[in-house]
Structure 1
Amino acid sequence: MPADAWWGWVGPLFVTVLGGALRFLRLGEPYAVVFDETHYIKGAYSLLTFGVERMTLGTEEDPIANRMIMAGDLNIWRRCPTVEECAEYVAHPPLGKWMIAIGEWLFGMTPFGWRFAGAVAGTLSILIMARVARRMTRSTLLGCLAGLLLALDGLHFVLSRTALLDVFLMFWVLAAFACAVVDRDWVRQRLPEMSPLEGAWPQVGMRPWRLAAGACLGAACAVKWSGVFFLLAFAALSLMWDAGAGRALGLRPRLSAALQGLTGAFALVPATVYVLSWSGWFLRAQGWGRNWEQATQAGPGFFVFDSLRSWLGYQVQVLGFHTGLDTRHSYMSEPWQWPLLQRPVAFHYLSPPNACAAKDCSQAVLGVGTPALWYLALPALVVLITRYTAVRDWRAGAVLLAYGAGWLPWFYYAIADNRTMYLFYMLPVVPFMVLALAIAAGLALGPGATASIRRATGAAIVGAGALIVLVNFWWLYPILSGETIPHAAWWARMLMRSWI
């Protein structure tokens, strides 16, 4: 690791503060319910109030209805006639909504309140990115560059300021990857000190960072089921890293021991975290499909058994819902369109009269990545493919595997299931695009002993690329943050006609 431990924290923290300031500035604007916020902010407040997700009674006495009147969104709140019929069928696990509920608890049922947790998760992910990039490249400069690039991505910025689930999925996936990378270093530091028996893989004891990675992956699955793609990928990654460490020391791999270690960290721990995220459903009678009266007819053993049976039945229902989710939407897109940003999602658009210095005004929030960053990431990924093919660079392999885990599975759903999908499904992949750029930048700069001309040329290329990303983000900022601008200025920022 770099010797500049002090700067290794000061630099990433500075970049994090910068990114956090961008995300928290005017966080409550637009003062409206944008895109799918309507589902999650209500579910979060219902969890906060009842412990489970329920519909409103649609009366003035209903506390959720009163809150939504304040938010101006009562008309699209689904209503039910009686308390008994208020159980809400939800298609996503509850952890992301519990995280949104923290902001609603702290700051009330306001746009700032329901977006607060997302802004915190987005800001902390910048710090994690800077630190994990520093660890992987052994460079504080490249770590800070990676954190800055993530802070300047438009899609990451928009979803950090919106009460949707994808920012929390991205956060837990990135945290899990960072823990897995630390575990890799942790094991390799200890293996040479062990005394293997007849060349077999030694027992390195409890691996806290691997367990932490498993817990983060369980949390990712407890936000959205697509977290399971990363769970499988990171389990395979950890197994390959262990095998590589063993071969480097001449140790004979023991598949049974390796799989036994994976079972706890990447099966039992994630499953435990996932089930615990449903605690409100298990402890309340009003949840969808809960069958509380049936479960309480006998003793504690039957209660646990019947509750688990009802819960598993609910999970099967949710799986069926996602499998048949093919409703057409004007902003839907296909996975092969995502890397090129061909069809972003308009989260919010208004034409407020007399709100700017022009006759026609626009207030927009467009969920789109920063094109300069996304397009530069494509050749960077090609560099990583070449790098891994040529020298088996573990960093390149890890980034490529994580990128593929977040992107490639959606091709199956697009082709076989014709599922309704959106560009922002790519958000968990954005950190790995940034890591690809950071690693490619390190290759361009070369090691510290590189000739000054080569290093100066590499520095000029990397600096120019970072400046282009910064200018591109600055140009798009008004349509990412909901500023009210002249309609002509909004139109000029529609870089592709497919953005409209």
Structure 2
Amino acid sequence: MGLHGVGADARDEREATSTGRDGGARPPAPEPTTGPLERVPESGSPEGVDTQREPAASARSTARETVPVGTRIDAWWANLLRTPGRRALWTWGGPIAVTLLAAVLRFWNLGHPQAIVFDETYYVKDAWTLLANGYESAWPEGANEDFARGDTDVFSDDPAYVVHPPLGKWMIGLGMALFGADSAFWWRASTALAGTVAVFVLTMVGRRLFRSTLVAVIAGLLLAIDGNAIVMSRVALLDNWVMLFALFGFWFVLLDRTATESRLRERLAALRDGGGDPHWGPVIWARPWVIAAGIAFGAATAVKWSGLYFIAAFGIYLVLVDAMARRRAGLGFWVEGALFKQAPATFLLLVPVAGVVYLASWTGWLVTDGGYYRGWADEPGNAATGFWSWVPHSLQSLWHYHQAAYGYHVGVASPHPWQANPLTWPISLRPTNMYFASTIDGSGGCGQGECWSSIMGIPNPIIWWAATLATGYLVYRFARYREWTAGAILIGVAAGYLPWLMYLGRTVFQFYTIAYEPYLLLALAAVLGIVLGRRDDPRWKRQQGIATVAVFLGVAAAVSLFFLPLWTAMPVTPDFRQLHFWLPGWG
């Protein structure tokens, strides 16, 4: 069974249809069963059908006549969603429910602690000065404590040297722009909103991939309750925005996959009806979802340069999508058509759009004259001569800024007690301790004399380790069956993780994994969908699948509840805090 059918009926999702065997909402229009990263059978067999697996399907059909299928839960669910209105309620109610759960876990007591936490020392204060001056400005020593007390205007007009683009800080500044910076709640609110919205977007992506509202909701639930996602939504850092914008881009790429193949077939049909021979096939320019993806990936890059890897990875994916679509359409020169006709058009729809978004994020720096390096090209001997002399000095100065920032990024290696080698990220060997406070006078609120409070970016270990194993299993599924869903998910994981293996000597942290965590959780949701099985499986198998998934989700939720105090700075006793350090690197 391909991943596109996990946890659902063999005919896409068609939940609670007239067959009465299903239990969910009618999904979006089915996507092609094959994709750019799957094997297309030869010898004239139907596309997307593994002919070696057909006997198993026949055996299933024969066994269905003698072996009881379905469970009481299936019957109850089908009866519950027997009307179109109820099915529509589940279609949107399920994703909304897990999104609301995410909102509670991210916004509850968000203003605690009323202190600058970890790298908030850069991004919150930078965001505030961006709002005031249009560029990041310098702060005096001890400004963190002043800022937390509400004395937020002690910055100067001197520029500060920063090495990340401005968009993430503009986004952090949204809450402060509306409600001021006196409360930590408002300097974290927009980041919490980003983490909440990401849960909803992930359910939409999951439904597009799996054609199952249930499996999509499971993916959203996993993101809603995971510790890494909760912590990164409750501190005003940049990485949550990279994750959200890249996830939007992935969703748009999936939407384009269906729409563009449909347009390609329509164009080819028109050409053939007119007696023409399309040869390499037409160029499809009407691809609004690619433009939308360019905007999203450009925004991710305008938060952190690591967004560039998502542009590159999914740009290549789009070329593969086009190539396989042309092959399925019967074009003889499908490779040449994809590479030399469609790929240049796709590039123009994606990359320049991303570039415009990226450049626009620097508007505040460009339209003012106080930013760091802003007047570099105006200084004698710095401006370009010859061919590049026509470039405005402001853009020449911006280019020099980028050169300097790149040199910093590739060379930063200052030791940090909570740095984590990327090779250890899959098991979360060294999560980041972002905040610690203690009291010994009985005033801490934990019921004892000594109380400790922490914000530790420990992912839910049950979810994280299972997602790592599931990702490995998807590698096998892709290698064995060429499932397009597995390939698409793995590209997201690769874009977020593999580039960091080139910088093993650089100072990096476990929380960077939030950028690709949604794809890990999609992998886990896919495997859970396989375990769930289908409603026409033998009853014993279906019962075992439902029980296994229910137990896993129940245990994962219990573990999240257990770790919640360490994710939200609740006061606890030292002994209780120590119980959470399951690996040596966690303490």
Mapping 1:446-461, distance limit 5 Å: 446-461=533-548
Are 2:357 and 1:270 aligned?
A: no
**Deviation, structure 1 residue 359:** 2.2
Q: Does 1:139 align with 2:212?
A: yes
Whether the aligned pair in 2 keeps the contact of 1:173 and 1:220 (CA below 8 Å) is: yes
Given that 1:2 and 1:139 are in contact with CA atoms closer than 8 Å, whether structure 2 keeps it comes out as yes
Residue 379 of structure 1: how far off its partner (Å): 2.2
Q: Could you list the per-position Cα deviations for residues 62-105 of structure 1 after superposition, in whole angstroms to 9, with x for gaps in the alignment? A: xxx6x962514989x9976xx4xx11111000000000010111
Question: Which residue, 525, 529, 538 being the options, matches 1:442?
Answer: 529
SS in 2 for 1:466: helix
Aligned partners of 1:33 and 1:73 also within 8 Å: no
Q: Which residue of 1 aligns with 2:482?
A: 392
What is the rounded CA distance, in whole Å, between the counterparts of 1:58 and 1:479 in structure 2? 29
Using the alignment, how far apart are the partners of 1:265 and 1:449 within structure 2? 44
- With 335-344 and 255-264 compared, the bigger mean Cα shift is at 255-264
Give CA deviations for 1:192-238 in whole Å, capped at 9, x if unaligned.
32224524323434111111111110001000011111111010111
After the TM superposition, which residues 115-154 of structure 1 pair with which residues of structure 2 at under 5 Å, given as runs? Answer: 115-154=188-227
Q: Do the aligned partners of 1:384 and 1:396 also contact (CA within 8 Å) in 2?
A: yes
Of 285-294 and 476-485, more deviation after overlay is shown by 285-294
The corresponding residue for 2:81 is none
Give the deviation of 1:497 after TM superposition. 2.6
C-alpha change, 1:421 and 1:73, in structure 2 (3 Å) is farther
Match of 2:97 among 2, 7, 14: 14
1:235-254 to 2 correspondence within 5 Å?
A: 235-251=315-331, 252-253=333-334, 254=337
Q: Please, which of 261, 267, 278 is the counterpart of residue 194 of structure 1?
A: 267
Q: 1:73 to 1:33 in 2, by over 3 A?
A: farther
Contact 2:232–2:240 (CA under 8 A) maintained in structure 1:
yes
* Partner residue of 2:514 out of 413, 427, 434: 427
Match of 1:326 in 2: 413
Equivalent residue, structure 2, for 1:62 = none
Cα distance in 2 for partners of 1:141, 1:185 equals 21
| Alignment counterpart, residue 501 of structure 2, candidates 381, 396, 411 | 411
C-alpha deviation, 1:24, in angstroms:
0.4
Aligned residue among 472, 479, 494 for 2:566: 479
Q: Distance in 2 between matches of 1:53 and 1:498?
A: 35
Letter in 1 for 2:169: K
Aligned to 2:244: 171
Shift in Å, 1:303: 8.9
Secondary structure class of the residue paired with 2:373 = coil
Give the structure 2 partner of residue 232 of structure 1.
312
Of residues 85, 98, 105 in structure 1, which corresponds to 2:177? 105
Structure 1 residue 428: Cα displacement: 1.0
Deviations 1:298-346 (CA, angstroms, capped at 9, x unpaired): xxx9896211111101100100111110000000110111111111111
Structure of higher CA gyration radius? 2
Aligned partner of 1:87 in structure 2 is 159
Equivalent residues in 2 for 1:298-313, closer than 5 Å: 305-313=392-400
> Could you list the runs of 5+ residues in structure 2 that have no partner in the other structure?
1-11, 15-24, 27-87
Identity %: 35
**Contact 1:55/1:78, CA 8 A, preserved across alignment:** no
Alignment of 1:67-82 (within 5 A): 69-72=146-149
The Cα of 1:412 is off from its aligned counterpart by 1.2
Q: Residue 305 of structure 2 aligns to a residue in which SS?
A: coil
Is 1:32 aligned with 2:122?
Answer: no
May I ask how many residue pairs the two structures share in their alignment? Answer: 482
* Residue identity opposite 1:103 in structure 2: G
SS of the aligned residue for 2:516 comes to helix
Q: Is the 8 A contact 1:325 1:419 kept in 2?
A: yes
Report the alpha carbon displacement of residue 445 of structure 1 after superposing the two structures with TM.
2.5
Report what 1:207 is aligned to. Answer: 287
How many Å separate the matches in 1 of 2:91 and 2:326?
30
CA distance in 2, matches of 1:70, 1:422: 26
**Alignment partner, residue 365 of structure 2:** 281
Look up the SS of the partner of 2:417 in the other structure: coil
- Identify the match of residue 133 of structure 2 among 47, 50, 53: 50
Q: Is the 8 A contact 2:216 2:525 kept in 1?
A: yes
Q: CA deviation at 1:2?
A: 4.3
TM-score, normalising length from structure 2? 0.78
In structure 2, the residue matched to 1:462 is 549
In 2, the alpha carbon distance for the partners of 1:293 and 1:173 equals: 33
Verify the 8 A CA contact 1:160 1:167 in the aligned structure 2: yes
Greater Cα offset, 490-499 or 475-484: 490-499
Partners of 2:304 and 2:340 in 1: CA distance? 31
Determine the C-alpha separation between the residues in 1 that align with 2:538 and 2:267.
40
Task: Check whether the contact 1:406–1:428 (CA below 8 A) recurs between aligned residues.
Answer: yes
Distance in 1 (alpha carbons) for counterparts of 2:566 and 2:377: 51
How far apart are residue 268 of structure 1 and its match?
A: 0.4
Mapped to 2, the partners of 1:70 and 1:216 lie a distance apart of 32
Give the whole-Å Cα distance in 2 for the aligned partners of 1:52 and 1:303.
25
CA distance in 2, matches of 1:205, 1:263: 11
Taking a change above 3 Å as real, the CA distance of residues 310 and 292 of structure 1, as seen in their structure-2 partners, is: closer
Query: What letter is aligned with 1:365?
Result: I
What is the CA-CA distance between 1:113 and the residue it aligns to?
1.0
Alpha-carbon distance change, 293 to 384 in structure 1, aligned in 2, over 3 angstroms: closer
**Per the alignment, do residues 187 and 452 of structure 1 end up closer, same or farther by CA in structure 2, a change over 3 Å counting?**
farther
Task: State how far apart, in whole Å, the 1-side matches of 2:474 and 2:418 are.
Answer: 32
1:382 to 2:457 alignment: no
Say which SS state the counterpart of residue 433 (structure 2) adopts: strand
CA contact (8 A) 1:122 1:167 kept: yes
Which of 455, 461, 468 is 1:371 aligned to?
461
Inter-partner Cα distance in structure 1 for 2:507 and 2:253: 32
For residues 38 and 78 of structure 1, the distance between their equivalents in structure 2, rounded to whole angstroms, comes to 14
**324, 329, 344: which one pairs with 2:431?**
344
Q: Is the contact made by 2:377 and 2:393 (CA closer than 8 Å) also made in structure 1?
A: no
Q: Secondary structure at the match of 1:35?
A: coil
Mapped partners of 1:289, 1:457: distance in 2: 63
Deviation at 1:398, TM superposition (A): 1.2
Q: Aligned pair in 2 of structure 1 residues 429, 57: CA closer, same or farther (>3 Å)?
A: closer
- Between the aligned partners of 1:39 and 1:73, the Cα distance in structure 2 is 17
CA shift in 2, pair 1:293/1:136, >3 Å: closer
For the residues of structure 1 that align with 2:544 and 2:263, how far apart are their CA atoms? 39
Shift of 1:191: 2.9
